[in-house]
Chains A and B, each alone.
Chain A
Amino acid sequence: ETGVTQTPRHLVMGMTNKKSLKCEQHLGHNAMYWYKQSAKKPLELMFVYNFKEQTENNSVPSRFSPECPNSSHLFLHLHTLQPEDSALYLCASSQGGAVEKLFFGSGTQLSVL
């Protein structure tokens, strides 16, 4: 256990559905991240939150909408996704935005039909 919990572990959704991914960290960190890992592609940073404020949006389409109500929780709201959005979505946290030691969750494996 890394101290970062993601739910659900697997998600299958149609292109017209709306769903949300949840991430919770129990490490007392103040920075949280969403990464996308597609098959045979490098991990891609999507969003960064420091002290609940979004500090980075890596040109992510608006069909992905993050929410960070507090330093321990991070959500990724999904709507009208495309099949190419199928991937493993990983949440991570760190202390003070120090990426040198990210703690990752086990991810949500998303399939868009």
Chain B
Amino acid sequence: EDKVVQSPLSLVVHEGDTVTLNCSYEVTNFRSLLWYKQEKKAPTFLFMLTSSGIEKKSGRLSSILDKKELFSILNITATQTGDSAIYLCAVEETSGSRLTFGEGTQLTVNP
């Protein structure tokens, strides 16, 4: 059975801190790994990673995939209170229209 494990499950930091969120996975036929940010209710897309070692960046957020060790990290530098959210990791298989999600990391950034 496919499995996605995120750590930590929750994290509290101060504004300006840098955080690293982790996602490890076990998937039979890996196609891609995705990160979503869930503020309030609707998850919104952040990154899609398909190749090892290639960093994706968007402002203060960046992510990288290691397909050999089966994990990904999401980095957020100079955190702001607006970064407070649940960060979801999901893995897509080649076999069909299915994403397997992790439990998420609840990030709280205090002023």
- A residues touching B (Cβ–Cβ < 8 Å)? 2, 4, 31, 40-45, 48, 50, 55-56, 88, 90, 94, 97-107, 109
Query: Are B92 and A99 neighbours in the complex by a CB distance under 8 Å?
Result: yes
Q: What CA separation (Å) do A109 and B92 show in the bound complex? A: 26
Q: What CA separation (Å) do A109 and B103 show in the bound complex? A: 18
- B residues touching A (Cβ–Cβ < 8 Å)? 4, 32, 34, 36, 40-45, 48, 88, 90, 92, 96-104
List 19 contacting pairs A-B, 8 Å CB cutoff, sorted by A. Answer: A31-B97, A42-B4, A42-B103, A43-B90, A45-B99, A50-B97, A56-B97, A56-B98, A90-B41, A94-B97, A99-B99, A100-B48, A100-B92, A101-B48, A102-B43, A103-B45, A105-B42, A106-B42, A107-B42
Query: Are B88 and A55 neighbours in the complex by a CB distance under 8 Å?
Result: no
Query: Are A106 and B41 neighbours in the complex by a CB distance under 8 Å?
Result: yes
Q: What CA separation (Å) do A99 and B90 show in the bound complex? A: 10
Contact residue among A88, A99, A106 (Cβ-Cβ distance under 8 Å from B98): A99
A90-B42, A106-B40, A106-B42 given; A100·B97 CB < 8 A? no
B91 to chain A, nearest CB (A): 10
Find chain A residues with CB under 8 A from B36 CB: 104
**From B90, which residue of chain A is reached at the shortest CB distance?**
A43
Find chain B residues with CB under 8 A from A55 CB: 97
